Structure 1
Amino acid sequence: MRVLGTLRVHRFHYLMMLPGLVLAGMFVFYPIFAAMFYAMHDWSGFTAQKIFVGFGNFLALFQDPIFWNAFGRSIVFLLGTVPLQMAISLILAMVLNMQLLKLSTFFRTMIFLPVVTPVAVIGIVWTFLLSPFNGPVNGLLLDLGLVSQPIDFLGSTQSVMPSVIGVYVWKWLGITLIYWLAALQTVPDEVYDAARLDNCKGHRLAFYVVLPIIKPFALAILLISSVAALNVFPLIMSMTNGGPFFGSEVMEIFIYRTAFAADDGSIPQLGYAAAAGVLFGAVLLGLTALQALATRRTRMATAGSKA
């Protein structure tokens, strides 16, 4: 009776929540449970027959070198983008946070502009810029005498990942910059005034005064950036399609190719791809849980500092 009374009192609020719950059920919860169901079956996705194999798909994945190569590339991409992105954005944030710096708003807007640009557009434009055939980047390198012949940035297995990493960092640098700027806003003005009285400037101010204060935010920013770096399907798909010779095939590209776009003419394996998606989703879920804990700790630290 108490539950019915609560529903009756808050019926308007539940009614307002209903559209969101329906959409979440259709596009979030149902795909999760469907992926778990398909992961237990040997199914191409094009036939009515589904053969239950239990954990057979997962066992096959652990013995699949292509799966581990894709997983390893995702980790390499993560390790190549996140530290670089955080370091550059932190330096820029400290510079742009200076009140005496003119045109700081303009520079913030220019750095953030790639974030709001569609990923597909970014991928197509950078594919043209990095092209070995009359690409502006190669043209500039040749004019400066830095190279003797054009570099096939996206056509070589040695250079494709560094090239995509560079484009990714350039595109998403602005969002990490905003995170750091928000963290820097928590540093009281009195701290800067006291540092100036002690003649603490430059790198000493940054390392010994500012960084210890914003340290609680660093873990949250790190985990947010890590989760984002593992969701790179649109950029790689538009730039390299996982090539050349699987040189940029990360986990998301592996799942997509296995489920829908087998290039070798073999039958797509939706169940096998679903198993890979479940494993990759478990990794993302773990990072998201760590992100939630880090965000909670950051709020507690911020509340403690204000108190």
Structure 2
Amino acid sequence: MHMKGTKPNAGKISKNRRKKLIYCYIFILPQLALFLAFTIYPIIMSYVYSFFNWSGYGSLSNFAGLENYAETISDPFFWNAFKNSFIFMFFVVLIQVPLALVIAILLNSSWLKGATVYRTIYFLPVVTTTAVIGIVMRFIFGAYKGLINEILIAVGILDKPIDWLGSMDTAMMIIILVGIWKTFGMKMVYWLAALQSLPKELFEAAKVDGANWLQTFRYVMFPLLLPVGSVILLLSSVNALHVFDLVKSMTNGGPAFHTDMVDLYIYRYAFEGGGMPRAGFASAAGVVYGFAILFVSLILGIVVKKTGGKQSSH
């Protein structure tokens, strides 16, 4: 007989649990090693490099203190790239997130035929290499023999070709539009996942009560989507603040630094520099920009938390 209060095979269960945990740690170890080597270590070393006048070659011997930070903060080109990065983020998120919701609602509708095909078409740009897209778009929006100019001239909208990527009035607009199109499919998938997780019983109850589509969206769908939408807003904003390969392949920051972004600014000093690279200065610029993104993320994180809290209270 077993004594009262004891569980049979408790030792065996505990042993099996430990065995499973060991296997879990073994399988996660390669990912953890890669994360430490290619994420944590570079972050830590970027802080170290930022205090040195270091070219990226040789030992760290020329200590600069806060000179790199002072130069970064006083550099108008940095603030120009900083402004452009946030302009890009603002318009991409402002247009992309709600538009992706509209398309996701349409693709989630039961009456739509071939929804899978449309989802694939929208998602294709996401899995296409950004640099390749940038090169193709450079030809499409080219000043001469570009596809867009050829079409607009053929239909009589333009009399002469426009240098879309070489004009200060249009270059940023084109970068933003291409950026929206490139990552649109991912936001659509986020919204689709959120829509498919909503309980259908609530929509059926709203229909029985005589609510039309707009009323159902406003009083049922939108409140339920709000917490997920806040997370999508946070992810979209942070991702849009890191744009490099698209701008590098389309305009390289031109014309006259009008589409320059902080990631491109850092790359220019870290790997080009017009001579000897300045990896220490580039690291300082990256740290400053990193804190700016952290500040934005904290604000949006508070919004996400409050939105989720309000939703859960209801």
**TM-score, normalized by the shorter chain, greater than 0.5:** yes
Aligned to 1:3: none
Aligned to 2:140: 129
Counterpart amino acid of 2:64?
V
Decide which of 51, 54, 69 is 2:62's aligned counterpart. 51
Per-residue deviation, 1:225:
0.4
Per-residue deviation, 1:282:
2.4
Per-residue deviation, 1:211:
1.1
Q: Does 1:164 align with 2:175?
A: yes
Structure 1 residues 39 and 10, CA gap change in structure 2 (3 angstroms) = same
Decide which of 262, 268, 274 is 2:277's aligned counterpart. 268
Per-residue deviation, 1:21:
2.7
* Distance in 2, Cα, partners of 1:258 & 1:142: 41
What's the secondary structure of 1:243's corresponding residue?
coil
Per-residue deviation, 1:96:
1.4
Contact 2:234 2:301 in 1 (8 A): no
Counterpart amino acid of 1:25?
L
Aligned to 1:210: 221
* Distance in 1, Cα, partners of 2:22 & 2:101: 47
Aligned to 1:223: 234
Counterpart amino acid of 1:164?
I
Contact 1:164 1:236 in 2 (8 A): yes
Structure 1 residues 15 and 192, CA gap change in structure 2 (3 angstroms) = closer
What's the secondary structure of 1:177's corresponding residue?
helix
* Distance in 1, Cα, partners of 2:296 & 2:27: 31
What's the secondary structure of 1:132's corresponding residue?
coil
Percent of aligned positions with the same letter in both sequences?
39
Contact 1:256 1:273 in 2 (8 A): yes
Aligned to 1:251: 262
Q: Does 1:277 align with 2:277?
A: no
* Distance in 2, Cα, partners of 1:266 & 1:73: 26
Larger deviation, residues 201-210 vs 34-43 = 201-210
Q: Does 1:108 align with 2:119?
A: yes
Corresponding residue pairs, total:
298
Aligned to 1:70: 81
Counterpart amino acid of 2:229?
A
Larger deviation, residues 186-195 vs 176-185 = 186-195
Aligned to 1:85: 96
Per-residue deviation, 1:197:
2.9
Structure 1 residues 19 and 189, CA gap change in structure 2 (3 angstroms) = closer
What's the secondary structure of 2:168's corresponding residue?
coil
* Distance in 2, Cα, partners of 1:119 & 1:8: 43
Q: Does 1:141 align with 2:152?
A: yes
Counterpart amino acid of 1:89?
A
What's the secondary structure of 1:187's corresponding residue?
coil
Instruction: Calculate the TM-score normalised by the size of structure 1.
Output: 0.87
Counterpart amino acid of 2:61?
K
What residue ranges of structure 1 are gaps of 5+ in the alignment? Answer: 1-5
Structure 1 residues 117 and 302, CA gap change in structure 2 (3 angstroms) = farther
Structure 1 residues 14 and 107, CA gap change in structure 2 (3 angstroms) = closer
Q: Deviations over 1:100-156 (max 9, x none)?
A: 121222111111111111112211111111112111111111122222221111111
Larger deviation, residues 229-238 vs 7-16 = 7-16
* Distance in 1, Cα, partners of 2:104 & 2:21: 45
* Distance in 2, Cα, partners of 1:49 & 1:228: 32
Per-residue deviation, 1:259:
1.3
Larger Rg: 2
Per-residue deviation, 1:19:
2.3
What's the secondary structure of 1:102's corresponding residue?
coil
Q: Deviations over 1:220-258 (max 9, x none)?
A: 000100111012111111111111211111000000001
* Distance in 2, Cα, partners of 1:9 & 1:180: 35
Per-residue deviation, 1:196:
2.4
Note the aligned Cα RMSD (angstroms).
Answer: 2.7
Instruction: Calculate the TM-score normalised by the size of structure 2.
Output: 0.85
Larger deviation, residues 95-104 vs 279-288 = 279-288
Contact 2:51 2:63 in 1 (8 A): yes
Q: Deviations over 1:64-107 (max 9, x none)?
A: 11111110110100111011001211111111111112122211
**What does residue range 170-189 of structure 1 map to in structure 2 within 5 Å?**
170-189=181-200
Per-residue deviation, 1:304:
7.6
* Distance in 2, Cα, partners of 1:185 & 1:81: 25
Aligned to 1:238: 249
What residue ranges of structure 2 are gaps of 5+ in the alignment? Answer: 1-16
